Every structure is written in structure tokens, then in C-alpha cells.
Amino acid sequence: MRLRKIELANFKRLADFRTQFSPGINVVKGRLNEMGKSTLLEGIIVALFGNPKSTAREVKGYVSWGSTSQFRTGLEFEERGNRYLLEKDFGKGTARLTGDNDDTELDTFREISERMAELLGTKSEDLFLCSCCIRQAQVSEIASGKKEISESLEEIVTGGQESTLASQVIQKLDSRVAEMKRGLDKPAKNPGVLAGLRNQLQVASQRHADVRDEVSRVEAHRIKLMEVNKELLQVKGEHDNARSLLEKNRLRKELEASIKDLEQKFDEAEKLLSGIRSLEEDVRKADGELVAIEGLKEKRQVSEFRKGLDAIRNRRGDIQEDLAEREKELVEAREKLEGRKLIRFLGSGKSITAAAAVLGGGMIGILVGPLYLLSLIVLGACLLAIAAWARVALMRDRTNISGIEERVGRMKESVEALGKEEEELLTQAKCSTIDEFDEKERAFYHWLEMKGGAEFRLEGMVGGKTIQGIDNQRSEAARKLAVEQAKLTQDLIETCLGPEEYVALERKEQLLQAKRADLEEQKRRCEVIIEQARFNMEHQVGLEEELEGLQQDLEQKERKVRIYQLASEFISRARSEILASSQEALVKEIEAYLSVFTNGKYERVKIGREDLDFWVYSDEKEDWAKPEELSGGAIDQFYLAFRLALVKLIFNDKRPPLILDDPFVNFDSVRLANTLRFLKTLSSDYQIIIFTLSESYDKVADNIILLGEEEKSS
């Protein structure tokens, strides 16, 4: 395969890049680091092997910084005269491979990968990187591709005709054996078939033992259940008879007690009705007597009559008592006036006339007569004064007597008025005298009290019920009494037990009941155990057959594992023998290349059968040494020879491009000159792309591609 042209868009620092390659040696140079050499190398690898639908982080890392779009690649190459174009859009997740001469047109990544494997010689990126692509400081790193290298060497020997390689068969056999034996040595979350079968066998054995024990236990309980049923039948009969006799006696006692209670209720209702009728008669009689009392209808009316008469009586009594005192006082005043005759005389008109005459005569005598007549004036004035005093005293006594007489008159009038008022009240009460009213009042209150007492007792007897309700209760009691008496049959009467007999029978019934309950509990437990039994004899037989089948299956699987192990050993030995021939060819190719690169210093190489470990014979040490024990330049030369030998052996007639990222920095000038001459010769068969900062490769270059920040090659 020869690359012709590559285009990269939004690929890291190469946002819009395209360049062409020529046959032979292409030297890609940059004056300084960080100019895009490594980016272009990665772009070639991604263009060849990248999956545009991949979401891996490293794929996203290829996008140009600051770009919002995913990157695209376009690779034009030539194989055996046919030109192809491989385009990949990592934003849309699409890929397309077209051929100019063979009408190739593929648009799925799987189909394109298969076709590229035919054209390139491999579809393994790891195999390509550890053989055709040699990066600076990674010349000796082949660990990631050891598996692919071993399988490729195996294909060389088998001619690539086998659909499945021996290593893959061995891996499958070992994986199958490991899978089948998983969990045998240590516990595993998902044990293999052997551990699973052994676990199943162990579980089944334990289950068989449990089933066997349970079946034996259930059979024992079946036998016990038959014995319990037999004894329970007998105890049930005895217990039912005792309970029936006790029940009859209890029923008889209950009926007799009920009859007695109903008789008592009937008598109480009858007595209550009789008392009610008697009280009702008393009420009616009292009502009749009250109606017969004329003038007195209501207690309030009678009370008002009584209050009025009592008030009249009290006022009249007070007036009469005061009247008696006033009459006595009047008599005393009159007697006093009659006893004061002198004063009555002195105050009379005659006395006043005589005093006036003496006074007048004295006055006249003074006028006409001697002075001794003045005494007559004094006498006359004295007499007149005495007469006036006597007259005033008499007037006061007469006024007092007149006031007493007037007060006595008013009192008599009040007494008379009170008599009329009393007469009017008595008339309203249809009474002629107070005594008659008193007699009627006593009779009224007597019958009223008798009526109230009867009504109170009647209310107490009825207690919120009606006479009809009480009568209904009596009738109901009579009906129930008849029903209960009918229930007390002759059979119940004849089964009557004495107190001692009843107690003894009751004790016997309790013992039988306890024994019956115990037997029923035993029966229930037996039935529950039998009913809940998960297994029976059929299960036991089935488990024995299952155990036998598991044992046979385990033995079969163990034989199968032994067969797998033997097959793996045989195939492994055969593969080792097969690989030996391919490794011999690989060693010869490495020795040829290594002799050229080291200028004949190292010419002998040997390889490990299984792990691709190499040894180089050192004349200086006179012993075999690993490549890593040589000098830095010798290490790079060995692995360069190894990779070129791999390319020749693995890719055979395919000619993949060889990509070298300045891998000769540790070469001295002599070895570098030899290597460049060799590469020039090799470029006639392989297209070589060298990435470098050096001018050392310009003299062997067929095409030089310059990279710069402002340069684009086309």
C-alpha cells in the first residue's frame, strides 16, 4: 500500500491541512518541535484505523482547540495499481471507502475495516503500531502487541487458512476449563459448572436427608393419628352424654329460675295495677269532695281568701285594741274635766263677766272715787286673768276630748268598714261566718292534700310508664310464663340430679372435656404436620433419582474438564512446535537486519517459545544478553531489526507504509549511514515516511514535506 494524499480538518493543531506523499522515502520536517509532526502521524493512524462512531475520550481530544465541530480525515492511497479514497467524518459518525478501478464503494465501518485488512495486511492498530510504526523513544515498546504478534506468526505457519488459531483454541479451552472449575478452590460469586454441580449435589443430599427424615416423621404421625382418633371417638361419646345430662339440669334450673322470675314479675305488675287503681280512686274521691265545697275552687283562690280575712282580722284587732284604749282615754278625760269644777267655774262666762264687772267698777271708781278703788282694778284684772287661764285650760281639755272622740269615731268607722269587707269576702267564699270559712278551708286542704299524696304515690308507682304499658308488661309476663312452663317438660323434670350428683357429674365432664381437648389438639397437630408436610415417599424416590442424575452429570462434566485439559495440553505442544518454525524464520530475518544496522557487531539472536522474549549474543560478554542490557543505540537497532523482520514475515506480500518518528537519534554516524543505505534499498518495496527535525535524511529523501505554522503542503 502506498499513501498518496491526506487531508485533515479540525484535527488538533492542523485545522485545515492537506499534503501529498510520493513513493520511496518521504521526509516530514519541522524547523522546531510543536509544529505538527506528531499530529500528522496521529492523523495518519486515525485515518487508517479510527472508528468515526467512537465516543472515546482520546478521540474527542483530537478536535482542534476552540472548534465547535468534530474533525474529518481523508486518505488517498494506492494498492496494486488500484487507487482508493477513505473518508471519515467523526462529527457525523460516517465512513466511506471508494475505489477507482475495482468499483469498491463501502459505507459501514465494519465492511471498511475488513476491506482495509485485505489491502493493508491487518486491521489491528496495535499490530501496526508495534511493527510498521516506530515512534521516537518507543522503539522497544512491543508489549501491547505481543498477542497480535504471536497470532500473526501462527498464521504465517498455518498459511492463514485456519478460521480459528491454535492460540485461540487453547485460550478458549483454558477459559472453558477455568470457567467450569470456577469456585472449586475459593468461593465465587458465579461458580462454574463443577462447583455448581457439587453444590447442587450437596444441597440435594442434604435435601434428601431432610426429606427422608420428614417422611419418617410424617408416617409416625399418621400412625399416632389413627390411635388418637380411636380414643377420641370413645371420649367424645362419654363427654357428650355427660354434657347432655348437665345441659338438661342447667336448662331445668334456668327454666325454674325463669318461671320464678316471671311469676314474680307478674305478681309485681298485678300488685302495681291494684295499687294504681286504688290511688286513682282516691284521686277521684278527693276531686269529688273538692268540687262539693262551694266557693272554694283553687288553692290560690283559697289562699287569697285566707290572706284577705287574716289581714282584715289583724287590722280589726289592731283597731279594736287601739279603740279600747282611746275609749278608756276618753272616759278618763271626761272624768278629769268633770272633776275640775273650780276651773270650769272660773272659766265660765259668769266668772268672766264678774271679773269684767269688778275691773270696770274699779276703773270707774278711780275716775270718780278714791285710790283704794284701784285694788278693784287689780282684783278685776286678776280675776279676768284667772278666768282667761281657766277658760284656756278648759278649752284644751275639751279639745283633747273632742280629738279623742273624733279618733274613736274614725276607728269605729274603720271597724265597720272592715266588717263589710270581711262580709264581702265571706260572701265570695259562699260563707256566712269566719268559722264556716275555717271549716270549709280545713276540708279543702284535707282533700287537696289527699289528692296530691295519691297523685305523688301514683307517679312514683308508674315511674314514667303508662297504665296500658304496665298492663302490657303483665300480659307479656303471663305469656312468657306460659312459654317457659311449656318448656319444662317431663323429661327435664325426670333428669333432675341431686346437688352431690350434679357436682360429681360436672367434675367428670370437666375431666372428659380436658381429655377431649388434649386428644383434639394431638389430632390437630398430627393433621397439621401431615397436611403441611412438603414431601412424601414419591418426593423421596424422586430425590434419590435426582441425586443419581447429578452424580452422573458431575462425573460426566469432570471427564469433560479432563478432556479439555488434555486437548489444551496437546494443542499447546503442537502450537509450540508450529511457532518454533515461524520463530526460526523471524530470528533469521532479525539477525540479517541487525548485522546490517550494527555493522556486524551483533549477528546471533534467540527467542523464547511462548513470551517473545529475545536474547542477543554479545561477543564482549561472551554470553547471551537481553536487548535491554545493551547500549541505548544497540537496543534501538535490535528492535528496529525486529520490527522490520515482523513486517516482512507478518505482512508477507502486503507492503504497508513504514512510519518512522525520528527513531535513530541514538545511532552513531556509521550505524546511521548503514541504516539509511538500507532504508534506501528498502524503499523500493515499501513506502517510508520519516518524521524529523534533522537534515540528516534529506540526501535519501524522495519527497520532503515542510511543516510550519503558516505553511500548508499540497
pLDDT of residue 585: 77
Please state the rounded mean pLDDT for residues 209-225. Answer: 86
Rounded CA gap, 563 and 559, in Å? 6
Q: What is the dihedral of CA 241, 243, 249, 254, to 10 degrees?
A: -150
pLDDT of residue 529: 87
DSSP 79: E
Please state the rounded mean pLDDT for residues 121-134. Answer: 83
pLDDT over 70 at 334, yes or no: yes
Cell numbers given for 604: 546471533
Please state the rounded mean pLDDT for residues 187-210. Answer: 82
DSSP structure string for 302-350:
HHHHHHHHHHHHHHHHHHHHHHHHHHHHHHHHHHHHHH-HHHHHHTSHH
**421-439 pLDDT, tens per residue?**
888 888 888 888 888 888 8
**69, 10 Cβ separation under 8 angstroms:** yes
144 pLDDT band, cuts 50/70/90, is very low
Number of neighbours of residue 217 by Cβ within 10 angstroms? 13
70 pLDDT band, cuts 50/70/90, is confident
Burial (0-12, 13-18, 19+ Cβ within 10 Å), 314: exposed
Rounded CA gap, 275 and 293, in Å? 27
**179, 491 Cβ separation under 8 angstroms:** no
Strands 688-692 and 25-30: parallel
Q: Is the dihedral of CA 436, 439, 444, 445 positive or negative?
A: positive
Please state the rounded mean pLDDT for residues 665-687. Answer: 86
Backbone angles phi, psi at 28, to 5 degrees: -100, 115
Nearest to 125 by CA among 221, 205, 59, 216: 59
pLDDT over 70 at 374, yes or no: no
Please work out, in degrees rounded to the nearest 5, the angle formed at the alpha carbon of residue 669 by the alpha carbons of 666 and 672. 65
pLDDT above 70 coverage of the chain, percent = 86
pLDDT over 70 at 632, yes or no: yes
pLDDT over 90 at 409, yes or no: no
Per residue, the 3-state secondary structure of 497-520, as one string, reads CCHHHHHHHHHHHHHHHHHHHHHH
**194, 180 Cβ separation under 8 angstroms:** yes
**562-574 pLDDT, tens per residue?**
777 777 666 666 5
Match 287601739 to its residue by C-alpha cell.
322
**544-597 pLDDT, tens per residue?**
888 888 888 888 888 887 777 777 666 666 555 555 666 777 788 888 888 888
pLDDT over 50 at 65, yes or no: yes
Q: Looking at per-residue confidence, does 86 or 61 come out higher? A: 86
pLDDT over 70 at 709, yes or no: no
Per residue, the 3-state secondary structure of 527-581, as one string, reads HHHHHHCCCCHHHHHHHHHHHHHHHHHHHHHHHHHHHHHHHHHHHHHHHHHHHHH
Cell numbers given for 271: 300488685
Please state the rounded mean pLDDT for residues 346-372. Answer: 67
Q: How far apart are the first and last CA of the chain?
A: 20
Please state the rounded mean pLDDT for residues 288-311. Answer: 85
Please state the rounded mean pLDDT for residues 197-216. Answer: 83
**49, 120 Cβ separation under 8 angstroms:** no
Q: From residue 218, how far is each of 213, 520, 525, 528 by CA, in Å?
A: 9, 18, 11, 10
pLDDT of residue 28: 92
Q: Is the dihedral of CA 319, 321, 324, 326 positive or negative?
A: negative
Please state the rounded mean pLDDT for residues 617-635. Answer: 82
> At the topology level of CATH, where does 299-428 sit?
Helix Hairpins (1.10.287)
pLDDT over 70 at 386, yes or no: yes
69 pLDDT band, cuts 50/70/90, is confident
pLDDT over 90 at 518, yes or no: yes
31 pLDDT band, cuts 50/70/90, is low
Rounded CA gap, 393 and 284, in Å? 75
221 contact partners, CB below 8 Å, separation of at least 6: 525, 526, 529, 530
pLDDT of residue 159: 44
pLDDT over 70 at 167, yes or no: no
Across the chain, mean pLDDT equals: 81
pLDDT over 60 at 163, yes or no: no
Nearest to 659 by CA among 28, 4, 86: 28
**305-333 pLDDT, tens per residue?**
888 888 888 888 888 888 888 888 888 87
pLDDT over 60 at 152, yes or no: no
Rounded CA gap, 152 and 131, in Å? 11
pLDDT over 70 at 612, yes or no: no
**64, 11 Cβ separation under 8 angstroms:** yes
**650, 127 Cβ separation under 8 angstroms:** yes
Domain ranges within the chain, ordered by starting residue = 299-428
222 pLDDT band, cuts 50/70/90, is confident
540 pLDDT band, cuts 50/70/90, is confident
pLDDT of residue 611: 59
Please state the rounded mean pLDDT for residues 468-486. Answer: 86
160 pLDDT band, cuts 50/70/90, is very low
pLDDT of residue 75: 94
Cell numbers given for 219: 408416617
pLDDT over 80 at 342, yes or no: no
pLDDT over 70 at 369, yes or no: no
Say whether 115 sits in a helix, a strand or coil: helix
Rounded CA gap, 146 and 126, in Å? 9
